[in-house]
Chains A and B, each alone.
Chain A
Amino acid sequence: MMHNIFIIARREYLERVRTRAFVIMTIFIPALMFGVTVLPSLIAMRMTGGSKHLVVAASDRQMAELIRDQLQKPRDDGEELQGRNKSAGSKYDVEVDTNVSDSERAALNDKVKQKRLDGVIWATDEALAANKIPYITRDVSNLSDTFGTQQVVSRAIHRRLLQKKGLSDTEIESALKPVGMEMLSPTGEGAKNPLLTFFTVFGMVMVMYMTVLLYGINVMRAVLDEKTSRIMEVMLSTATAKEMMIGKILGVGAVGLTQIAIWTATTGLLSAPGLIAGSGMIKGIISIKLGIFFPIFFLLGFMLYSTMYAAIGAMVNSEQEAQQLQFLVAMPLIASIIVLVQILQNPATPLATWASIFPLTAPLVMFTRIALDQTQSIPSWQIALSIGLLVATIYGLMVLCGRIYRIGILMYGKKPTLPEIMKWIRYA
C-alpha cells in the first residue's frame, strides 16, 4: 500500500518538477510579485528623487522662513510624518517671497505653468484666516506630496502662532511633540506592530488560498490527464484506485511545497539584510505559533480540497465539463475569504467561531483567527475541534471520493448525473 503510494507520488513529483511549466511558474510568480509590489515604489522613488523648487509667499517673512526651514529640514528626528517615509521623501529647494500682490501671484503661476518652478505655497494672511492655503502645483494628483506638504506647512503655522504668543522654542517643541500610542493586551504582553501583523497574516492566508486552489486544480488535471491517456487500467492491475488517488494528491502537493519552499528561501536570501536589521520586529510577528499552525492548516486544507478536485477529475472527461463542478468546490474557499474580511476587522464574532470550526472553511479561517489572536482568547478546544473535524472530514472524503474515483476513472463517455454518482458511491 505505502510502497505503491510512494512510487506513484514520486513519479508525479519528478515528472512535474522537470517540466518547463514548473520552472516558469517558480520564477514568474515571484517576478510578478516583485513587479507589483517593489517596482512601483522604486519608480516612485526615482521620480521624486530630484529636488523640488518651491516658492513660499507670505507677508509675514518669519512665517515663510519657518515653512521653508520645516520643508528643508531632513525628517529623521522622530517627527516622522505619516504618509511619507524618509527614503521616498522629496528634497525641497525653497525660496521666500514677501510680495503677495495679485500680479506676483499671476507671475508665479506662469512660472509653474512654464515648469520654471515646481510649486507655490500662497500663505497670505487672508489664506491663514480662511484656514485654507493655496498650493499651486502641476502635480495636483500627487497625494503623498500634497499630504506631506500640508502637514509641514500646518506645523510651521502652528509654530509661528505659538511664537507670536511668546512661547520659547523649547516650549513650542514640547507642545508640538506628537503623542504615540502603544497597544497592550490585558495579559500585559507587548504589542506587535498591528499593521505589519495584518499584512503578514494576510499574505500568508493569500498564499494558502492561492496554493490550495492552484494545486487542487492541478490534482484534478493530473487525474483527467491519466484518464484521457487511458493508462488507468494498466495502473489498476497493480495499484488500487485509492493508492492512485492518494499518491497523486501527495505528489502534486509536494510540488506545491517545493515551490513555496523555493519562494520562501529566495525571499529570505534577498531580504536577509533587512531581516537582520529588523529581526526583533520580525520575531514578534512570525511567532512559533504561526510556524506550527501555518503548515498544519495548509496541509489539511490542501488535502481536503485536492481530494474533492481528484473526485471531479475522475467524474468528467474534459476540463470544460469540470468547470461547473470546479466552481462548486471553490465556493467554500471563496466564502472563507469573504468571512475573513470581517474577521480581520473583528476577530471575535460568532460567525468567525463557526466558520473556523466548519471543516470546509476551517483551514483559512481558523488559521487567521489564531494568527490575529494576541491575547490567547481562542479556547484550545475550538482549535482541537477544528483540526479534529478537518481530519475526520478528509478521511471521510477520501473514502467517498475514492469510491467515485474507482468507478469514475474507468468511465468514459458521458458526464455522470448526480443520481449516477450516488450509485457509484453505494456500489463501490
Chain B
Amino acid sequence: MKYLTEYRDGAVGRGLISRIRKAASRPWVLMEVCGGQTHTIVRQGLIELLDGAVEMIHGPGCPVCVTPLEQIDKALRLAADPGVIFTSFGDMLRVPGSECDLLQVRARGGQVRVVYSPLDALELAIRTPDKQVVFFAVGFETTAPANAMAVWRARQLGVRNFTILVSHVTVPPAMTAILSAPDNRVQAFLAAGHVCTVMGWTEYEPIAHRYKVPIIVTGFEPLDLLEGMYLAVRQLEAGRYEVENQYARAVRREGTVPARDLVARVFRLVDRKWRGIGEIPQSGLGLREEYADFDAEYRFGLGAVQVSEPAECRAGDVLRGRLKPYQCPAFGCRCTPEHPLGAPMVSSEGACAAYYNYGRFRQTPAEVSGG
C-alpha cells in the first residue's frame, strides 16, 4: 500500500537508529503515549536495536486497558439483559470484569455483537426496533468523532432504541497527571499521531512549556517512531521543549475541525476514572444533557456498582511506566492472553500483550542484578 510500506524501510530505519545513538549523550527517557505505537516498538525490536540510547516507557494510551472496571461491570449487566443487544468493538469482549467478561455473558445467552463502527450498531437498532441496542462507546479522541456521529445521527433519524454506554478518555490530562507525579521519569513524549489528526496539537503547547518537555506528534510506522525519537533526542540535547510534528502527512495544527466540532456539540468534559490509575479530573467525555436520551446509564438507570479487581494484577504500575510487563510476577504464567488477569494482557494495544506476543521479556543485566 502506498505511503505505508515506505515507512517500514529497513535500510532507512538502520540509518535513523545510528543517528539516534550518535545524538544521545545519555539514555533519555521517552514515553510513547499510544498502545498502537507500543506494539510497533516492541514488535520491531526497536528497543533492542537502540541499545540503551533511549529508554522507552510505555504510556497509558490503550483504551481497552484504562476503561474502568465499573464501566465493564455495567456493560456486563446490560449485555445480560434479554431486551438488549449489546454491541462493542471486538477488543472489549475479553476484558475481565469483576466476575466474568462479555464473551462469557454471550456464552450464557446474552446478545453481544461485535461491530466495526458505531454506525453499524445504529443500523442494527434501525433494523431491530423491538430491541434496545446499546453501543459500548470507549476510546480516546480517535473514536470520539465516530461515537458523536452515531448519537447525532440517531437523533436526526429519530431512532429511539439506540443508546451508548460512554467511557471516553482524553490524552492531555493523562500526560499532565504523569508529569505531575512526584516519581515521574518521562523527559519527552511521542504524542499519539492519530489523536492529533482529530485534535491537532494546540492542547500540547502549554504542557510542553509548563513541564519543559519536548512533545513530538508521531505516527505509527517504524520509521515514524524512529524519527519521533530522533526529534525528541535532538530537542533534549539542545535543551529545547517544543511541540514538533513528525506526522505531517496526516496531522495539521488545528486537527480535523468538523470532527472536533461535533465531538464538542455532543460531549462535554467530565471527571473520569482510569483503570489501574484512578480518577483524573476532566479527563473524560460524557454526553451533554441534550443527548441524555441516548445515554445508556440514564435510560437503564444504572447506579453505582461494587467492583473487585484481582489483587495480583499490577496493570496500574505497568500503565504508569513503573513496571515493565515482564517484571510482574504473574506475567506469562498466571496471566496470559488466553487467561488474562488484567486488560493490558488482552488488548491488541496493551503493553503486556505486546511483550507476551512478541517474546520481548529478556531482562537486561542491570535489571537482573538491581531487581
* Bound pair (A, B): no
Which B residues fall within an 8 A CB radius of A?
Answer: none
